[in-house]
């Protein structure tokens, strides 16, 4: 059974991300504050749940949460700041978007949410000094496999996964040859074969190893 709370604070936020290992599409982060009495027999780490169960949990989490937020960080920003920083920045953005300022934050993984703040990137949201100070002021704890230990992190993992899947289903319509509706941008054999055959798109992460032997692109001067 998952734990309801780590810190003892009422407004404790769980946060997580989805899509870190993908070759295409955004990395998607979510943050959730659940009420103290929230429980659900099916809620768990989203990776342990079927797509059908995740989709059924999404409205339950959204309707019962004190508040929640979801953020996509897209490939151009991932390529600029790297995927680890993008994952953390996505969770930080979610915290700033919450309607209730958290009293404590629990983060899935082994990095503090405040590991890097105010990155000097040119793309995406730029944090103000006030926002950076707010993030610094909230105590947080990273928890390895937290999405299988705490309800709020599990809820965040479900929202991050379902929102990201929805995004991939939409861009599948634009580039159906990559079958993102099925593989969601992960490095499957089918996805890599499609990259080899059709090349890359604006949704691919060019800083990633897209093929076992990195694509070589020819550039021509006009």
Q: Please indicate, yes or no, if residue 145 is contained in any of the structural domains.
A: yes
Q: Please indicate, yes or no, if residue 151 is contained in any of the structural domains.
A: yes
CATH code, 119:
3.30.420.10
Q: Please indicate, yes or no, if residue 202 is contained in any of the structural domains.
A: no
The CA radius of gyration of the chain, in Å to the nearest whole number, is: 18
Mean pLDDT of the chain: 93
Q: Please indicate, yes or no, if residue 142 is contained in any of the structural domains.
A: yes
* Counted domains in the chain: 1
Q: Please indicate, yes or no, if residue 159 is contained in any of the structural domains.
A: yes
Alpha helices in the chain (DSSP H): 51-64, 75-81, 83-97, 129-137, 151-174, 180-183, 189-198
Q: Please indicate, yes or no, if residue 187 is contained in any of the structural domains.
A: no
Give per-residue pLDDT as tens, 97-143. 999 999 999 999 999 888 788 777 888 999 999 999 999 999 999 99
Distances (CA, A) of 180 to 25, 56, 194, 203: 9, 21, 11, 11
pTM: 0.93
Q: Note the pLDDT of residue 213.
A: 66
Domain that holds residue 70: 12-169
Q: Please indicate, yes or no, if residue 181 is contained in any of the structural domains.
A: no
CA distance 188 to 15: 27
| Confidence grade of residue 219 (pLDDT, cut at 50, 70, 90) | very low
Query: Over pLDDT 90: what percentage of the chain?
Result: 87
- The pLDDT of 171-181, averaged and rounded, is 98
Give per-residue pLDDT as tens, 32-84. 999 999 999 999 989 899 999 999 999 999 999 999 999 999 999 999 999 99
The neighbour count for residue 47, using CB atoms within 10 Å, is 11
Give per-residue pLDDT as tens, 197-216. 999 999 999 999 999 765 44
Q: Please indicate, yes or no, if residue 16 is contained in any of the structural domains.
A: yes
How many residues in the chain? 222
């Amino acid at each position: 059974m998952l734990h309801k709370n780590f810190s003892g604070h009422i407004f404790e936020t769980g946060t997580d991300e989805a899509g870190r290992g993908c070759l295409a599409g955004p990395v998607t982060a979510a943050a959730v504050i659940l009420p103290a009495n929230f429980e659900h027999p099916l809620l768990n780490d989203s990776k342990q749940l079927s797509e059908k169960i995740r989709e059924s949990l999404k409205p339950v989490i959204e309707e019962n949460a004190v508040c929640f937020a979801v953020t996509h960080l897209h490939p151009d920003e991932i390529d600029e700041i790297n995927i680890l920083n993008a994952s953390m920045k996505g969770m930080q953005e979610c915290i700033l978007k919450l309607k209730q300022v958290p009293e404590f934050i629990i983060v899935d993984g082994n990095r503090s949410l405040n590991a890097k703040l105010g990155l000097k990137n040119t793309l995406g949201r730029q944090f103000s000094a006030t926002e950076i100070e707010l993030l610094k002021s909230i105590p947080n704890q990273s928890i390895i496999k937290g999405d299988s230990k705490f309800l709020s992190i599990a809820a965040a993992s479900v929202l991050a996964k379902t929102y990201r899947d929805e995004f991939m289903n939409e861009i599948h319509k634009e580039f159906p040859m990559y079958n993102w509706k099925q593989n969601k941008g992960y490095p499957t054999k089918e996805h890599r074969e499609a990259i080899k055959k059709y090349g890359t798109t604006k949704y691919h992460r060019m800083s990633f190893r897209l093929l076992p032997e990195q694509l070589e692109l020819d550039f021509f001067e006009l």
